[in-house]
C-alpha cells in the first residue's frame, strides 16, 4: 500500500491550494499503533501556518468559492463523494494503518465519508430562509448565510467520518474551512484534501494544517479571523476551546463524548439486542464518542444478558489493523496506559469475560484485552467516567424509574437506547432519557449521516450530521423592508 495516495505528501500542509511545508519546516513522527513503528513524518504546523490558512480561507470566501451558487457547491461535493468511492481501498488502508482500526471498520468509515459528501451535496441548494408576516407595509424575510471561515479541530478516532460531517456541512453552506487534524492520525485528512482538490474544490475552500493541539490547535481556536469552531475530542480540551473562542465571541460546536447506556427491559428481545450491546462497546476498540459503555439490565434478564455478552467477549480477538480482527490496537501507548489505568480501577469489581490479544500481535502494538465488568455500583468510576477503550459494565435494575435514574446519573448525555417490546415505555423513555439521540430496539442506526447528532451536559452542545448541521454552520439574517 502507499502512504501517498494521489501523490499526497504527508509532511506538507494544504494552504490556499498549495501544498507547502510549515514555515518552521519542523515535523512530527507518526506512529503505527499496530506495531509501534514509525510510519512517516507529518508537518508540525504552528500559529504562523494557521494565520496563513485563515487568510487563504478568507480569500476563498471573497473570491471564486464565495461567489459559487449553492447548486454548484453541491456538484463539487458530489464529485468529491464519487472520488472518495473510487479510492475506498486506498483510503481504508491508510486509515487502518494510521488509527489502528480493523480494515472492515476503516472501509465503513470511507463509505460514511462518501455518504456525507452525497448528503451535503444534495442539501446544498435546499436550505433557505423564510418570509415572515409582519405589520402592514412591510415585507420581512430571512437569509441563511455562511459564517465565513470555519475552524475544524478533529480527533484521531474517526478522522474520515468527522471530516465528512463537519467539513462536508460547512462547505455545503459556503464556508471556507481550516482543518486541524489530530497529531496521532492525520493521513486521511490530507488524502481527502488531495481528493477534494482533484475533484475541483476551489483553492482555499479547504485548508489543512497538521500539528500539535497545544500549538496549531490552540492557535486556530483563538484566531480572530475564524467565525465558527467545531471541535470533537476530550472534555478538557473542549473547555479550552470554548474559552479561547469566547475571547472573540465565536460560536462553537462541541462534541465531547459520553457514558452512553443501553437499557434492557424484562420484555426485551435479548437475542436481537446482544450484538448491539457488545458491538457498541468494542467498535473501534471502544474509542468512539458514542460508545455504549453501560449496559443496564432488568434483574429478571440479567443472568441471560450477562452470559450472552460474556460469550461474545470470550470470542473477541484483538490484533493488528491489517489482520482485520474484531478489535485493533488503541491509537497510542498513551491511550493504552489510560485504558489500563481504568481497568485497574475495576480491581474491586468482577471481570465477567475478556477477549484475547492474538499471540502473534507485534510486541510494540498498543493492545488491550476487551473487558466486561460486573458488580459496579452506578457511582463507581467505571460507571461514571468515559474510558475510551473496549470496556463495558453491566448493571442490574429493578424498576423503570431506577433504570432512568441510573441512565441519567452521569455528567454526560450523548446517546441512549431502550430495548423493550412496550411501545408506551419506548415513547416515555425517549422523552425522559438525557441524550442527544435515543434509539429504540437498536443502537447507532447504522451510522446515519442523516440523523442529527450531539449531546447535552459534558457531552457538549450543538448538532452535527443531517440537515441540522447546516443550521449550525450558518447564521440567519432578518431583512425588514418598509415599503408602505
Q: Which residues are catalytic?
A: 255, 289
Q: How far apart are the C-alpha atoms of 188 and 171, rounded to whole Å?
A: 18
Binding of ligand ADP by 160 (CB under 6 A): no
Binding of ligand ADP by 457 (CB under 6 A): no
Give the one residue of 80, 160, 241, 393 binding ligand ADP; rule: CB under 6 A: 241
- Is-contact 418 389, C-beta < 8 A? no
Give the one residue of 10, 225, 233, 436 binding ligand ADP; rule: CB under 6 A: 233
Binding of ligand ADP by 221 (CB under 6 A): yes
Binding of ligand ADP by 254 (CB under 6 A): no
Taking the complex as a whole, the smallest distance from the CB of residue 237 to ligand ADP amounts, in Å, to 3
Nearer Cβ to ligand ADP (332/474): 332
Stretch of 3-11, 55-63, 149-157, 439-447 contacting ligand ADP, by CB under 6 A:
149-157
Stretch of 22-30, 152-160, 193-201, 308-316 contacting ligand ADP, by CB under 6 A:
152-160
Nearer Cβ to ligand ADP (117/162): 162
| # chain residues binding ligand ADP, by CB under 6 A | 16
Binding of ligand ADP by 252 (CB under 6 A): no
Q: How far apart are the C-alpha atoms of 272 and 421, rounded to whole Å?
A: 12
Taking the complex as a whole, the smallest distance from the CB of residue 109 to ligand ADP amounts, in Å, to 17
Give the one residue of 49, 95, 118, 183 binding ligand ADP; rule: CB under 6 A: 183
Give the N- to C-terminal CA distance of the chain in Å, as an integer. Answer: 69
Stretch of 37-45, 65-73, 180-188, 271-279 contacting ligand ADP, by CB under 6 A:
180-188
- Is-contact 465 449, C-beta < 8 A? yes
The CA-atom distances, in angstroms, between 403 and each of 297, 400, 419, 423 are 8, 5, 12, 17
Binding of ligand ADP by 213 (CB under 6 A): yes
Taking the complex as a whole, the smallest distance from the CB of residue 317 to ligand ADP amounts, in Å, to 25
Taking the complex as a whole, the smallest distance from the CB of residue 140 to ligand ADP amounts, in Å, to 40
Q: What is the DSSP-derived secondary structure letter of residue 184?
A: T
- Residues near 466 by Cβ (< 8 Å), separated by ≥ 6? 119, 448, 449, 450, 451, 452, 453
Stretch of 231-239, 352-360, 435-443, 475-483 contacting ligand ADP, by CB under 6 A:
231-239
Q: How far apart are the C-alpha atoms of 94 and 303, rounded to whole Å?
A: 41
Binding of ligand ADP by 148 (CB under 6 A): no
Nearer Cβ to ligand ADP (87/284): 284
Q: Which of these, 464, 114, 139, lies nearest to 289 by C-alpha position?
A: 464
Stretch of 195-203, 233-241, 427-435, 450-458 contacting ligand ADP, by CB under 6 A:
233-241
- Is-contact 474 123, C-beta < 8 A? no
Taking the complex as a whole, the smallest distance from the CB of residue 474 to ligand ADP amounts, in Å, to 23
Give the one residue of 148, 217, 413, 466 binding ligand ADP; rule: CB under 6 A: 217
Give the one residue of 33, 74, 146, 155 binding ligand ADP; rule: CB under 6 A: 155
Q: Which residue is nearest to ligand ADP (CB)?
A: 213
Taking the complex as a whole, the smallest distance from the CB of residue 61 to ligand ADP amounts, in Å, to 23
What H or E segment, with its residue span, contains residue 137? none
Map the footprint of ligand ADP across residues 321-350, applying CB under 6 A. Answer: none
Binding of ligand ADP by 229 (CB under 6 A): no
DSSP-derived 3-state class of residue 414: coil
Q: How far apart are the C-alpha atoms of 468 and 148, rounded to whole Å?
A: 18
- Is-contact 46 217, C-beta < 8 A? no
Pairing between β-strand 138-146 and β-strand 474-482 as defined by DSSP bridges: antiparallel
Taking the complex as a whole, the smallest distance from the CB of residue 419 to ligand ADP amounts, in Å, to 29
Give the one residue of 234, 279, 456, 475 binding ligand ADP; rule: CB under 6 A: 234
DSSP-derived 3-state class of residue 113: helix
Binding of ligand ADP by 237 (CB under 6 A): yes
Q: What is the DSSP string of 139-174?
A: EEEEEEEE-SEEEEE--SSSHHHHHHHHHHHHHHTT
Q: How far apart are the C-alpha atoms of 129 and 151, rounded to whole Å?
A: 24
Binding of ligand ADP by 240 (CB under 6 A): yes
Nearer Cβ to ligand ADP (164/174): 164
- Is-contact 96 322, C-beta < 8 A? yes
Taking the complex as a whole, the smallest distance from the CB of residue 99 to ligand ADP amounts, in Å, to 12
- Is-contact 186 11, C-beta < 8 A? no
What H or E segment, with its residue span, contains residue 107? helix 103-123
Nearer Cβ to ligand ADP (99/357): 99
Q: How far apart are the C-alpha atoms of 418 and 400, rounded to whole Å?
A: 11
Pairing between β-strand 38-43 and β-strand 27-31 as defined by DSSP bridges: antiparallel
Taking the complex as a whole, the smallest distance from the CB of residue 151 to ligand ADP amounts, in Å, to 9
Nearer Cβ to ligand ADP (50/268): 50
The CA-atom distances, in angstroms, between 454 and each of 291, 458, 466 are 13, 11, 11
Q: What is the DSSP string of 283-335?
A: GGGG--TT-EEEEEEEGGGHHHHHHHHHHHHHT-EE--GGGT-SB---S-HHH
Binding site for ligand ADP (CB under 6 A): 153-155, 180, 182-183, 213-214, 217-218, 221, 233-234, 237, 240-241
Amino acid at each position: 500500500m502507499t502512504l501517498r495516495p494521489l501523490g499526497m505528501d504527508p509532511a506538507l500542509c494544504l494552504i490556499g491550494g498549495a501544498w507547502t511545508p510549515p514555515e518552521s519546516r519542523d515535523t512530527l513522527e507518526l506512529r503505527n499503533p499496530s506495531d509501534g513503528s514509525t510510519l512517516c513524518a507529518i508537518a508540525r504546523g504552528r500559529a504562523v501556518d494557521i494565520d496563513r490558512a485563515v487568510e487563504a480561507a478568507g480569500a476563498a470566501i471573497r473570491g471564486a468559492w464565495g461567489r459559487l451558487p449553492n447548486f454548484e457547491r453541491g456538484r463539487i461535493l458530489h464529485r468529491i463523494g464519487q472520488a472518495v468511492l473510487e479510492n475506498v481501498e486506498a483510503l481504508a488502508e491508510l486509515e487502518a494503518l494510521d488509527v489502528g482500526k480493523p480494515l472492515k471498520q476503516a472501509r465503513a468509515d470511507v463509505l460514511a465519508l462518501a455518504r456525507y459528501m452525497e448528503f451535503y451535496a444534495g442539501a446544498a441548494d435546499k436550505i433557505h430562509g423564510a418570509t415572515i408576516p409582519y405589520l402592514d407595509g412591510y415585507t420581512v424575510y430571512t437569509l441563511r448565510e455562511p459564517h465565513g471561515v470555519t475552524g475544524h479541530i478533529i480527533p484521531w478516532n474517526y478522522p474520515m467520518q468527522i471530516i465528512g460531517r463537519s467539513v462536508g456541512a460547512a462547505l455545503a453552506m459556503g464556508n471556507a474551512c481550516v482543518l486541524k487534524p489530530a497529531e496521532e492520525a492525520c493521513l486521511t485528512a490530507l488524502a481527502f484534501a488531495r481528493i477534494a482538490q482533484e475533484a475541483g474544490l476551489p483553492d482555499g475552500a479547504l485548508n489543512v494544517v497538521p500539528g500539535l493541539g497545544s500549538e496549531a490547535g490552540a492557535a486556530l481556536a483563538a484566531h480572530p479571523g475564524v467565525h465558527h469552531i467545531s471541535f470533537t475530542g476530550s472534555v478538557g480540551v473542549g473547555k479550552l476551546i470554548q474559552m479561547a473562542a469566547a475571547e472573540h465571541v465565536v460560536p462553537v460546536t462541541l462534541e465531547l463524548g459520553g457514558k452512553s447506556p443501553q437499557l434492557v427491559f424484562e420484555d426485551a428481545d435479548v437475542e436481537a439486542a446482544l450484538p448491539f450491546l457488545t458491538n457498541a462497546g468494542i467498535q473501534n476498540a471502544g474509542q468512539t464518542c458514542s460508545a455504549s459503555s453501560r449496559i443496564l439490565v432488568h434483574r429478571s434478564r440479567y443472568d441471560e444478558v450477562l452470559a450472552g455478552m460474556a460469550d461474545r467477549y470470550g470470542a473477541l480477538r484483538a490484533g493488528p489493523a491489517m489482520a482485520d480482527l474484531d478489535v485493533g490496537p488503541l491509537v497510542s501507548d498513551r491511550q493504552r496506559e489510560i485504558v489500563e489505568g481504568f481497568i485497574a480501577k475495576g480491581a474491586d469489581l468482577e471481570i465477567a469475560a475478556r477477549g484475547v490479544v492474538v499471540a502473534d500481535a507485534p510486541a510494540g502494538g498498543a493492545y488491550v484485552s476487551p473487558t466486561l465488568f460486573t458488580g459496579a455500583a452506578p457511582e463507581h468510576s467505571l460507571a461514571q467516567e468515559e474510558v475510551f477503550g473496549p470496556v463495558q459494565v453491566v448493571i442490574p435494575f429493578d424498576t423503570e424509574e431506577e433504570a432512568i435514574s441510573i441512565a441519567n446519573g452521569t455528567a454526560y448525555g450523548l446517546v441512549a437506547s431502550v430495548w423493550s417490546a412496550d411501545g408506551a415505555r419506548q415513547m416515555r423513555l425517549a422523552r425522559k432519557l438525557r441524550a442527544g439521540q435515543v434509539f429504540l430496539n437498536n443502537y447507532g442506526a447504522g451510522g446515519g449521516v442523516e440523523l442529527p447528532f450531539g449531546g447535552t451536559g459534558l457531552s457538549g452542545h450543538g448538532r452535527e450530521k443531517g440537515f441540522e448541521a447546516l443550521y449550525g454552520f450558518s447564521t440567519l439574517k432578518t431583512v425588514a423592508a418598509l415599503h408602505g
